[in-house]
Structure 1
Amino acid sequence: MHPILTAAVVAAALFLGGCASTGAPVDVSGADVATRTLENGDTFEEYRVAGQLRMVKITPLRGAPYYLYDRDGDGALDRDDADKVPQTYWKLFSW
């Protein structure tokens, strides 16, 4: 292998490893978790710190769980400025 290609492969592996290990973009340690099952079978978990909603984890009956966050701490879930829809995050890697 060429040295530049080898360096690129190593850099990509380190980058992906760093992305996978960063965890949630908000601190939910010590959060109160309220879990409920929706009519369609999805599981809805609210994470509240000091009574303020910080994160929501939604686990569909079929499919991968996804997350909604309040990263700025204003009490509202983050939204895309253009469409005003919640920003949705999936966990891509875990080990």
Structure 2
Amino acid sequence: MKTLLLAGLLVLAGCATGGGAGPVDVSGADVSKRVLDNGDTIEEFRVGGQLRMVKVSPSRGAPYYMYDSDGDGRMDNDKDGVSPVYWKLYSW
């Protein structure tokens, strides 16, 4: 019974977080893409000329994202001044 309950909770958690966009709306954004010397790719998403999201695709490893969710033109910071990064764990 516990296994069935746990499986149901995992399915609900996947439905709640699996689909959709990130924490900011970048539909219709201008995307500029550049490749660094080490092979990393950086994509900047600008809405109305303002940077809203950055996607970093390392030459080795999974891509990660940084967001400006409040629209102040700076990437979101935590209490120590470090920008949190987000990884897409799965999607369907």
TM-score relative to the length of structure 2: 0.91
Larger Rg: 1
Instruction: Say which SS state the counterpart of residue 21 (structure 2) adopts.
Output: coil
Tell me the CA shift for residue 78 of structure 1.
Answer: 0.5
**Equivalent of residue 76 in structure 1, options 69, 74, 85:** 74
The answer for unaligned runs of 5 or more in structure 2 is: none
Tell me the CA shift for residue 40 of structure 1.
Answer: 1.2
- Counterpart amino acid of residue 85 in structure 1: V
TM-score relative to the length of structure 1: 0.89
Instruction: Say which SS state the counterpart of residue 69 (structure 2) adopts.
Output: coil
**Equivalent of residue 37 in structure 2, options 32, 36, 39:** 39
Distance 2:22 2:73 in 1: 17
Tell me the CA shift for residue 5 of structure 1.
Answer: 4.3
Tell me the CA shift for residue 79 of structure 1.
Answer: 1.1
Distance 1:67 1:47 in 2: 11
Tell me the CA shift for residue 20 of structure 1.
Answer: 1.0
Tell me the CA shift for residue 63 of structure 1.
Answer: 0.5
Identical-pair percentage = 54
Deviation above 4 Å: which 4+ runs of structure 1? Answer: none
Look up the match of 2:82. 85
- Counterpart amino acid of residue 84 in structure 1: G
Tell me the CA shift for residue 74 of structure 1.
Answer: 0.6
Tell me the CA shift for residue 35 of structure 1.
Answer: 0.3
Look up the match of 1:23. 21
Tell me the CA shift for residue 23 of structure 1.
Answer: 2.2
The answer for unaligned runs of 5 or more in structure 1 is: none
Does residue 50 (structure 1) correspond to residue 72 (structure 2)? The answer is no
CA deviation profile, 1:23-64 (whole Å, cap 9, x unmatched): 211000000000001121100000000000000000000110
RMSD in angstroms over aligned alpha carbons?
1.3
